[in-house]
Amino acid sequence: MSTTIKTFLMLGVFCTIVGLVYGYVTEFQELAGFPALLAVAAMSFMLVIYLWLVQRSTGGTLPEDREDGEIVEMSGEYGAFSPWSWWPLLLGLGCALFVTALAVGWWIIGLAVPVALLGLLGLVFEHSRGEHAH
C-alpha cells in the first residue's frame, strides 16, 4: 500500500503545481482546467490520507510492497456480484439518459430519473427477496 500512497502523493503534488502554473498562465480567467487540476490534486490527497490511515490501522504490508511478494498471495474473495443481474443495465440506461439530457435538453431528465431510480432500487434490493433472500 505504501507504493500506492507514494503514487497518489506524487500525482497530487504534480497536479497542484501544474494547476497553479496553468492558472497563472491563463491569468485565472479560464475556469475549466485550473479548477479541474486542483480538484484532481485534492482527490489524490484525500486518497493519500485514507490509504495512510488504513495502512496505519491494519499494520500490515501488502504483497506488492515486498520484494519477495507473489501474485498468488493476493488471491481470495473480492466481494459478491450477481452475474445474472439485469439491474446494472437499467441503471446504466438511466445514467446515459441523464447525460443525454445535459447535452440535448433538460426535459429528458424527467425520463432519466425514474429509469435510474428503478435500476438503483432493483440493484440494491435484488438479494432481499425470493430465492436469494438472506
In sequence order, which residues have a C-beta less than 8 Å from that of residue 18 and are 6 or more positions away?
A: 37
Q: Mean pLDDT throughout 6-16?
A: 96
Q: Mean pLDDT throughout 2-15?
A: 93
Residue 19's CB is within 10 A of a number of other CB atoms, namely 20
Is residue 44 within 8 A of residue 11, CB to CB? The reply is yes
Is the pTM higher than 0.95? no
Helix (H, G, I), strand (E, B) or coil at 65: helix
- Answer yes or no: is pLDDT of 5 > 70: yes
Tell me the pLDDT tens digit for each residue of 26-55: 998 988 889 999 999 999 999 999 999 888
At residue 130 the predicted structure's pLDDT band, cuts being 50, 70 and 90, is: low
